Amino acid sequence: MTKPRLVFATRNPGKVREIAQMLSDQYEIVGLADIGCAEDIPETSPTIPGNAIQKAEYVLEHYGVHCFADDTGLEVASLGGAPGVHTARYAGEAKDADANMAKLLGALTNATDRSARFRTVIALTTEVGTRTFEGICNGHIAEEPSGADGFGYDPIFIPEE
């Protein structure tokens, strides 16, 4: 019996591999390249859940396949939830991690509350409809970067134990 196919709306082969390993007993997980999706999928929603939904629904509408998509944002309490939906482009369209961290640390120079959280929303879209799932990792922003591992905001985000 063939496993149901699910498209993960990402161009990151590492993410596809990781999820495929987790779900390989039940699903065949493929990425956007595997379905011939070369165009940029719009991410124009003002919210993290909205962007995840928009990506998943785009794939179903244009390619006719069940899809899930994710969007993640760093929400800093003393900045009213910023950078939020703009996490990847906080310092500009170039998606420069070092510039993003520098801008965030600058914005928190005099902040006494450095609490923050990473919020990830996954949207699953089929012909029946769309469901969302959310995960949160609470923590705080360090005063300066530390460590060489990870990516994005990892050098300044310290998760709760």
Q: Which of 49, 54, 14 is nearest to 31 (CA)?
A: 14
Regions in the chain scoring below 50 on pLDDT: none
Look at residue 120 in the predicted model and tell me its pLDDT.
97
The catalytically annotated residue of 34, 40, 71, 96 is 71
Tell me whether residue 78 is in a domain.
Answer: yes
Tell me whether residue 88 is in a domain.
Answer: yes
Look at residue 96 in the predicted model and tell me its pLDDT.
87
Tell me whether residue 123 is in a domain.
Answer: yes
For the stretch 18-55, pLDDT in tens is 999 999 999 999 999 999 999 999 999 999 999 999 99
Look at residue 85 in the predicted model and tell me its pLDDT.
96
71 part of the active site? yes
CATH assignment of the domain containing 79: 3.90.950.10
Domain count, the chain: 1
Look at residue 94 in the predicted model and tell me its pLDDT.
85
Domain that holds residue 52: 5-156
Tell me whether residue 161 is in a domain.
Answer: no
Look at residue 93 in the predicted model and tell me its pLDDT.
87
